[in-house]
Amino acid sequence: MTTLVDYESNRIVELMDQPAELRGADWLKDALQQAILLELATLPPYLCGMWSIDDAGPDERVREALRTIVFDEMSHLGIACNLLTTIGGVPRLADVRTVPKYPGPLPGGVRPGLTVFLSGLTKESLDLYARIEEPEDPLVRNREAHTSIGAFYSAILAAFRSHPELITGARQVIRNMSSQGAGNSLTALDTLSAVESAIAVVMEQGEGTSASPENPHPNESGELAHYYAFREIHRGREFVKVSENPDQWDFAGPEIPMPHTLPMGVVPSGGWPREGPSAPGQDTLDRLDEVNGAYSALLRFIEQAWQQDVPAQATSLLNKAVGRMRALEEPAVALMGTAQPDGGKNYGPEFRYVDA
């Protein structure tokens, strides 16, 4: 029997309220399923921002920064799945009640009051991205009182350390992604040390460390963690070290110009209207269905990959998921180039789950 995972629950807050002595196998399975949804929830907004860049001009920094972050998040999703299966859990993604809803909150009650939306790359969307990734104690102050993603992963790590006997190494999907950055490869999480290293990658690529905003697991030397990369693009200046002993950082580096983007509007609740005077033409409807279909197939392939006992079958299914991811870009960009009937912003992908 498949257990329903409701994306719109307050489950992470509830899990964080449970005392440490009660955080055993069931707690970890529940928490890691929520972690999978968290990692998935970041991908559609970041992809929309990246794909909306129409002409980066001579300065490719913004596009490359977003591309690197998207690959990191894909890796984090795989790591979260490996963390769940190593303790005997089964990732759940392919259900209309489970997938992220846009616009809407992050799963589990993380960062209450934050509405995650899909749009092209703008100052508003960059602020959203940064607030998603914000550390517990950022070097750049913009804090709210909330449960952060980093605090949630810290609790997961503590539970693993309290119960290393739960780690079995079952159904681990392995994939070499080292070309996308140090630590991004999916490896077998069959020891506590491997689990600790994997969780460190997820946390430090997103938030940096307490001592530095730099990503300790970079694609290129000097790469900033996601939060600081988004903040410097938003501010339009590189975030650089301005003094040492102790180290001080500020937005005092060279200018970062915003690239030219396709004017994708914010996807409304429930997606773009299918009927009435504001409904798009048939070509646009076909593209919306194409993206939603490819996205949904991608989620089914990911879910199935982590259900396989034979590694070759898992690899084949993950390759199919990667193929569906690549198939999303062309129709998504075409949607971003299509104006809405009211002459305002353009359309864009909805990332809605549809049954096969």
Tell me whether residue 336 is in a domain. no
Tell me whether residue 180 is in a domain. yes
Tell me whether residue 277 is in a domain. no
What's the rounded Cα separation, in Å, for the pair 231 and 237? Answer: 9
- Structural domain span for residue 167: 11-270
Q: What is the mean pLDDT of residues 248-261?
A: 94
What's the rounded Cα separation, in Å, for the pair 199 and 204? Answer: 8
**pLDDT at residue 218, as a whole number:** 86
Q: What is the DSSP letter of 87?
A: T
Token couple for 323: 């193929």
Neighbouring C-beta atoms of residue 5, cutoff 10 Å: 20
Tell me whether residue 325 is in a domain. no
- For residue 243, the cross-strand partners are 248
Neighbouring C-beta atoms of residue 102, cutoff 10 Å: 24
Q: Could you tell me which residue, 9 or 336, shows the higher pLDDT? A: 336
Tell me whether residue 323 is in a domain. no
- pLDDT band, very low/low/confident/very high, at 344 (cuts 50, 70, 90): confident
Q: How does pLDDT run across 28-86, given as a tens digit for each residue?
A: 999 999 999 999 999 999 999 999 999 767 678 999 999 999 999 999 999 999 999 99
Tell me whether residue 168 is in a domain. yes
Tell me whether residue 5 is in a domain. no
pTM beyond 0.85: the answer is yes
Nearest CA among 327, 349, 346, 329 for reference residue 337: 346
CATH code: domain of residue 59: 1.20.1260.10
HSE-up of residue 316 (Cα within 13 Å, Cβ side): 7
Tell me whether residue 320 is in a domain. no
What's the domain count of the chain?
1
CB 278 within 8 A of CB 341: yes
Q: How does pLDDT run across 72-122, given as a tens digit for each residue?
A: 999 999 999 999 999 999 999 999 999 999 999 999 988 888 999 999 999
CB 100 within 8 A of CB 188: no
Tell me if residue 120 falls in helix, strand or coil: coil
